[in-house]
Amino acid sequence: MNDRLVRAACAALFLPCLALVASTADATSSATTTQTRESRSQDPLEPNLESPESRTLYTLGQLISRTLDGFALTVEELRFVRQGLEDGVLGKPPKVDLAAEAEGLHSMQAARRAATLQREKQAAEAFLAEVTTAPNVARLDNGVILQPLTPGHGAVPTPADQVSVHYEGALVDGTVFDSSRQRGKPATLPVKGVIPCWTSALQQMRVGARSRIVCPPELAYGERGAPPAIKPGATLVFDIELLAIVR
């Protein structure tokens, strides 16, 4: 039973690494491009990432870090995580009873996730109090907030359609986490194959229209979030331009 507890805790934390590989490909490419444009001074305490193998191993560390996002670790706490990881990888005997600590691990994660949800809720409330006073703002029945920016004069997409859009996604503090405009290429998406907030908003727009939409967490990524950029319970803001219906 104790071994099963340990295995369950490890699986819950580290198996999501595999799913993150594909989802981070674009972000990794963008970051690499930006890095090559900047003049870099090597910190003597940091490892050199010039070789392909070193970059691959660094990527492994990045992916593992994203499974730990819910813990909101401090620099001091990271020292203990690093020690545990090092001991495990090098085959050293554990310094604590892993089975005995498994319950505490889950309790810590739950408590910190709850604190993150509360912070996101408070930030959203302050943001919504401001945005709902802006001109021409409408709240749909499901809670999506829609603010038309530019009118459209074309057709309205149906759930069965695919659409071509330019968009920018941001947190309520203005941090942009995704943008087709920055990539310089519109996205083609199925109306019913995106987050529910988008599905609702797109069916309120005509081709040629541009709107700002505010997505409550339950119609976006919910309490799970999309780490590392989108925290659990985050309210999201999108600027969407409906370019065409793709049939």
150-196 pLDDT, tens digit per residue, is: 999 999 999 999 999 999 999 999 999 999 999 999 999 999 999 99
CA distance 48 to 46: 7
For 62-89, what is each residue's pLDDT tens digit?
888 888 877 888 899 999 999 999 999 9
Query: Annotated active-site positions, please?
Result: 167, 177-178, 195, 221, 238
Q: Which residues pair with 164 in a beta bridge?
A: 188, 244
The pLDDT value given to residue 77: 93
For 86-144, what is each residue's pLDDT tens digit?
999 999 999 999 999 999 999 998 999 899 999 999 999 989 988 888 888 999 999 99
pTM of the model: 0.71
Rounded to an integer, the average pLDDT of 23-27 is: 44
The pLDDT value given to residue 9: 47
CA distance 64 to 17: 6
Q: Which two tokens stand for residue 230?
A: 């989108």
The pLDDT value given to residue 168: 97
SS3 155: coil
Q: Which two tokens stand for residue 33?
A: 């491009």
pLDDT value at 37 more than 80? no
Instruction: Tell me the chain's radius of gyration from C-alpha atoms.
Output: 22
Q: Which one has a higher pLDDT value, 9 or 241?
A: 241
Q: Which two tokens stand for residue 47?
A: 């490892």
Give the CA dihedral 64, 67, 71, 77, nearest 10 degrees. Answer: -10
CA distance 24 to 161: 27
The pLDDT value given to residue 19: 44
Alpha helices in 15-97 (DSSP H): 16-23, 25-37, 52-67, 75-89
Alpha helices in 153-209 (DSSP H): 180-183, 196-202
Using an 8 Å Cβ cutoff, are 212 and 142 in contact? Answer: no
